[in-house]
Structure 1
Amino acid sequence: MKTMATQLTLLLRMGQQRSNMRLLLKFVLILLFFFVLYSVLFHLLMLYEGRDYSWITGFYWTLTTMSTLGFGDITFASDVGKVFSVVVLLSGIVFLLVMLPFTFIQFFYAPWLEEQNKARAPRSVPETMSGHVIFTQFDDVTVNLIEKIGQYGIEYVIVTGELQNALDLHDLGFKVVVGELDDPRTYHRLRIDSAAMVVVLNDDISSTNIIYTIREANARVITVTNADLEDSLDILQLAGSTHVFQFTKMLGRALARRVLGVSMKANVIGRFDRLLIAEAPAMRTWLQGKTLTESRLREVTGVNVVGVWEKNHFSLPTPDAIIDESTVLVLAGTDEHLDRFDRSIGFDTETPPAKGPVVVLGGGRVGQAVANALKARLIDFRVVEKKAGIAAREEYFVQGSAADLDVLIKAGINETPAIIITTHDDNLNIYLTIYCRRLRPEAQIISRASLDRNINTLHRAGANLVLSYSSMVTTTIMNLLHPQQMLMLSEGLNVFRLPLHPKLRRKTLIGAKIREETGCSVVAVKRKEEMIVNPDPEIVLEKGDELVLIGSAKSERLFTEKYPTSEG
């Protein structure tokens, strides 16, 4: 009862709802007028027929007749009385059975339900919230980001201007706030002054308006924006966005970078102070066929092999692990170390000859980014594109369907060392992967995945490597969120820095057995102002040291569980 009274009080306080209540009250008064009028006429007609009933009986007859219950215990004998009964019955059908429910729902129940829904979707965040991330768009990328920042205990809130959308997200368990995206008051209610970042992944025009509005509310908060069009880069920067990326181009460059056998130089994929993390394919180098011990890479170049990719699977290397043609080495070192590695490989600027052109399936934004990256590296390629308007732009385009064998033969499918599938439709990418794997069992197939859930399916379909658009966006934003504390690399490979746990003090690296017990490798030790890259296994860890480690998300979780930062 208290809850109902509270809701009624809230409803009556609202300006619009007060007007609705007045209309509802007027209707009820009209209904009561007819009820009293019919009761009086009932008495007069009964006296006309020579019968006398109490006023209670008159009210009883009027109610049963208007509500169409019609018990039949009291009836008129005269024609006038029967006509009166028909009038009362018809007016009851109109007023009680039609207009009353409609009026009640329209002016009372629906507004009350709307207020209930608004209460479920709040318009502000708690006063205690800080260090949170604000999302202005909800999609699969947002879901992936929310999951990732949740692993690090970072709070978030999604803001949307549509109440129903907010209710749907609320029912799915997301933290959501209702507010107009172009209203500065919305961001004040989101405590933007205490926020760590605002992620704006809307379309270019909407993002520009949102960024301007955010800057009106707060001039310093970090914002991350995606630009679909090249011209939008400058516009979004002028609007005030801290970081503007073209994630589709970044994905295209990453896909092109992973082609094996066309470039042997180490490719830097992450930087952590002086520490650089790079990838280098082993195909057609002197490393192929050797074990890590036999390669003596650390002694020769100074780099440390901290991991290996084998057909999109990352693992920590063992001394007797054999490096084959599909191996991609994950290296840790300084600029000098990587320069020595490149010189030892012997392919500083030259590109080794390939049997045929790299075949790119799809000439959209990602496909064109792949093409530009391959062109910059002087790698021969062909792009298969179905739309004639796009295919006519450059001579390296082949117009036609990627599922047409004649088109693929024309593009060089029979001689290509690698096939890159770039369409935004995961269903089509799976289809093309299966098809291309049947045509060229030995070729390297690299595919784009729009949704993370389709990565494993693409691997089963025959892709050697799958890069996810969602993972790329997540990686970029996570690295901005915790600079110099955590560096997320491709496919869930993380570099992170943590203070030395008391249990590890005065132990050597080799004696601490961090790698054996957690799966993480120590790639650097920060000691005061010095970053010791690839430290000697016999180094003694001291109080105040910070460890820079590399490992998968699972390995990082095992390390933090064994050596929680809250201790010591």
Structure 2
Amino acid sequence: MNNWWRRIVLSLVAVLVLVLVYAVVYRAGMAIFEGASTTYYEALQFVIEALTTAGFGGDAADWDSPQMNLMVIVMNLTGVLLVFLALPLIVVPLFREALEDRPPETTDLTDHVVICSYTPRSDVLAEELEAANVPYVFVDDDPELVVRLSREGTDAIYGQLDQEGTLRAANAAEARALVTDVDDETNAMVILTARELSSDLRIVSVAENEDVASYHRYAGADDIVRPRRVLGQSLARKATTTVSAELRDTIEFSEDLAVTELLVQEQSDLVGQTIPESGIRDRMGLTVIGAWFNGEFVPVPGPDHQVDGNTILLVAGRRDDLSELKARTVSTLQHRRDRVVVGGYGAVGRTAVETLADDGVETFVVDYAEMPGVDIVGDVTDEADLEAAGVDESRSIILTLDDDATTIYATLVLKQVAPNVEIIARANEPGNIPKLYRAGAEYVLSLSTVTGRMLASVLIEDEEILTPETQFELVRTTAPQIAGRSLGDVDLRARTGCTVVAAERGDELLTDLGPEFTVLEDDTLIVAGSDEAINRFVALATE
């Protein structure tokens, strides 16, 4: 706004100077070329009439010399040029700037979550909060981003993240929590500022580097989320279990109920069959909650979906039955050497290597930078470097790169260099997960998804996210809006795409839930499905 007024003042001063100078020039011209005497005020009146093209006429009969006529022509042209130049260069931009949306700088929200900085990771958190009907406001130092978010209907305010005035404007003292997810140094500044503002405010910080967690805690953070470590562990566990018949990474609730996701290998006996043909439900007594086909989640797949080498099954049932199914997902061919190549040695890659080493798996690390732990300085998109890393002799490769475009390209190259190697990839943005599956990856997990889920699990009191590090979401939540109704009556699968796999009623865990099962007010439901399906369920059952 100050810039807007400054431009107006400068423009008016320039016009005023021009008018005063032209009045002096006109008086001199009339005296020299016409021998006529005019007062300064008469000259000033003429100049204003000429520049505004309002007409003059009074002195026209006195202009006999060509010099005076040329002077008047120049003055008239100047007036016309001022009009035509002022409109596009000054007036129009001033009006446009005046009409532009200004980024909001305050909010009236209370009992809300203040999210410092807008990122794809915080976008996932926002979706979880919306599903749980928890208000939130983004705080960002990019005014254009804040304007765009506001236009889209998202609560957002503009301000410097580490300034107390900004947090006051975000009404942080009246918030239920503050989340800071910028970078490790800025997060520390935000934590200190927020703690100075309120000693009772719950502060949740995202730590990129494992070593800074203690500093954030000392600065005043109540909870610290370390998604890169969780992501690295999860990707490594996928590499250690994909060719093993042993059942791992299972969420167990009782002897009669466990939930897991199973990656179907290319040469397993399930490939080419539909779920009904496989006998998973009828013969083995397992519940297929859903399946991912090339990155697309399909709840309760039917005869239109054939299992292939990229299919991931989400299954619930007895552990013994799940172990039997796990054996069927493993390739019938002889397995490759127990060796995993890791592409990228950042926080995620290092954690993956540590996890694999704990399981006795040999690793080989490729990274751009030379550092301890890197076996070859190279590029995972370069065929020669991949061959030097022995990727074609390895069981799988874990791609833990910071850039999704590079990860996608590396996946395409790997399918040419080593078509039989198993590709387990990290994605930064959830929207790139389907692209990685189409490129040929067997398993993909998003850093944004892991971060958003972990934050949501900390912030949402009525919902516990049990599986932040998997492709599916498994939550423990109440469902007051469907209390007194049967599952068949509510028809949750059709309406939300997720499945109620169990119910906690007092000290009892109920697992055999048919359509006639009636939800009671004090029941806690265990629900599984994709992120979108779970959000639809929470919105339906809790709002």
SS in 2 for 1:369: helix
Q: Distance in 1 between matches of 2:395 and 2:405?
A: 24
The 5-angstrom pairing of residues 117-516 of structure 1 reads 120-126=102-108, 129-163=109-143, 166-167=146-147, 170=150, 174-259=154-239, 260-262=242-244, 264-268=246-250, 277-279=259-261, 291-292=279-280, 306-307=289-290, 312=295, 314=297, 330=314, 355-387=337-369, 389-390=370-371, 393-394=372-373, 397-487=375-465, 489=468, 490-491=470-471, 493-495=473-475, 497-499=477-479, 504-505=484-485, 514-515=492-493
Q: Distance in 2 between matches of 1:176 and 1:410?
A: 49
- Of 514, 527, 544 in structure 1, the residue corresponding to residue 521 of structure 2 is 544
Residue pair 1:267, 1:280 contacting (<8 A) in 2 also: no
Deviation at 1:122, TM superposition (A): 1.9
Q: Distance in 2 between matches of 1:510 and 1:341?
A: 26
Deviations 1:518-568 (A, max 9, x none): 5432222233x335242454985364243332233554476578x6656xx
- Of 55, 63, 66 in structure 1, the residue corresponding to residue 48 of structure 2 is 63
The 5-angstrom pairing of residues 38-77 of structure 1 reads 48-49=35-36, 61-63=46-48, 73-77=60-64
Cα 1:525–1:368 change in 2 (3 A) is same
Residue pair 1:132, 1:195 contacting (<8 A) in 2 also: yes
Cα 1:221–1:362 change in 2 (3 A) is same
Deviation at 1:209, TM superposition (A): 0.7
SS in 2 for 1:292: coil
Q: Distance in 1 between matches of 2:135 and 2:357?
A: 42
The alignment yields a C-alpha RMSD, in angstroms, of 5.2
Q: Distance in 1 between matches of 2:432 and 2:263?
A: 25
Cα 1:212–1:112 change in 2 (3 A) is farther
Q: Distance in 1 between matches of 2:43 and 2:490?
A: 95
Residue pair 2:128, 2:535 contacting (<8 A) in 1 also: no
Residue pair 1:448, 1:466 contacting (<8 A) in 2 also: yes
Q: Distance in 1 between matches of 2:536 and 2:207?
A: 37
Q: What is the aligned residue count?
A: 518
Deviations 1:454-486 (A, max 9, x none): 222211111111111222222222222324425
Cα 1:271–1:78 change in 2 (3 A) is farther
Deviation at 1:416, TM superposition (A): 2.0
Residue pair 1:264, 1:280 contacting (<8 A) in 2 also: no
- Aligned AA for 1:534? T
- Aligned AA for 2:460? H
Q: Distance in 2 between matches of 1:219 and 1:168?
A: 33
Show the counterpart of 1:530: 507
SS in 2 for 1:238: helix
- Structure 2, unmatched stretches of 5+, are 272-277, 328-333
- Aligned AA for 2:187? S
Cα 1:501–1:75 change in 2 (3 A) is same
Q: Distance in 1 between matches of 2:342 and 2:288?
A: 31
Deviation at 1:357, TM superposition (A): 0.8
Q: Which structure is larger by alpha-carbon Rg, 1 or 2?
A: 1
Identical pairs, percent: 23
Deviation at 1:212, TM superposition (A): 0.7
Q: Distance in 2 between matches of 1:216 and 1:324?
A: 56
Higher relative contact order (CA 8 A, sep 6+): 2
Deviates more, 1:434-443 or 1:156-165: 156-165
Deviations 1:321-346 (A, max 9, x none): 9999977664668xxx7699889999
SS in 1 for 2:391: coil
Q: Distance in 2 between matches of 1:315 and 1:371?
A: 32
SS in 2 for 1:414: helix
- Structure 1, unmatched stretches of 5+, are 1-10, 299-303, 347-351
Deviates more, 1:483-492 or 1:445-454: 483-492
